[in-house]
């Protein structure tokens, strides 16, 4: 590959004050550096699941006692943040690296309650609202059914229906 192709990239990066070689390299490693070429790591799966949990929980008003009552959306978020359910799921979904001394390797584990409590509740509310109004949040909300559930794929429906029809006379499809 000729240097002409890379000159445009280097010129662009040089024009940006925040673009340091370390930052660009880390970004490229994240984008192109998947080890083994296989699917996502466990950490990536957990990290990518967080917006779905947030959207599903907020759409169903988790933490709110009277779900039929009309209340401001920030209050719905605040109610969930105050619940132990939110604290538990936040600690589960926000992983931290730790050293496994028996296996002598670095692993991922749950964040501690202290990590959760270091962040003010108002910041949790803002972060959840940011997910709700983000482009990804809007796409996720568009997939919810009218009763705020995530749809099951048709192939899963067909498999479920096939299981229910086992043993019935006309179950041949």
Helix (H) or strand (E) holding 40: none
pLDDT digits (tens, 9 = 90+) for 40-53: 777 788 888 999 99
Label residue 34 by pLDDT band (50, 70, 90). Answer: low
- Residue 121 covered by a domain: yes
Domain range spanning residue 71? 39-142
Domain count across the chain: 1
What is the average pLDDT across 2-16?
Answer: 81
Q: What is the pLDDT of residue 120?
A: 96
Q: What mean pLDDT is reported for the chain?
A: 83
- Residue 66 covered by a domain: yes
- Residue 153 covered by a domain: no
- Residue 108 covered by a domain: yes
- Residue 13 covered by a domain: no
- Residue 11 covered by a domain: no
3-state secondary structure 106-156: EEEEECCHHHHHHCCHHHHHHHHHHHHHCHHHHHHHHHCCCCCCCCCCHHH
- Residue 171 covered by a domain: no
pLDDT digits (tens, 9 = 90+) for 58-83: 999 988 888 888 899 999 999 999 99
- Residue 137 covered by a domain: yes
Is 60 exceeded by the pLDDT of residue 170? no
**Tell me, what DSSP letter sits at residue 69?**
S
């Amino acid at each position: 590959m000729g240097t002409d192709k890379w000159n445009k990239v280097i010129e662009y990066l040089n024009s940006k004050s925040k673009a340091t070689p370390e930052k660009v390299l880390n970004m490229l490693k994240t984008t192109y550096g998947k080890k083994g070429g296989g699917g996502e790591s466990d950490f990536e799966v957990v990290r990518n699941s967080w917006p779905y949990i947030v959207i599903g929980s907020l759409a169903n008003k988790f933490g709110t006692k009277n779900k039929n009552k009309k209340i401001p959306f920030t209050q719905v978020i605040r109610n969930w943040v105050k619940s132990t359910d939110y604290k538990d799921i936040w600690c589960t979904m926000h992983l931290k690296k730790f050293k496994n001394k028996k296996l002598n390797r670095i692993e991922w584990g749950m964040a501690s309650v202290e990590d959760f409590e270091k962040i003010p509740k108002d910041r949790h509310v803002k972060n959840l609202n940011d997910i709700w109004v983000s482009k990804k949040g809007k796409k996720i909300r568009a997939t919810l059914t009218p009763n705020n559930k995530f749809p099951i794929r048709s192939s899963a429906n067909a498999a479920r229906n096939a299981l229910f029809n086992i043993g019935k006379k006309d179950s041949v499809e």
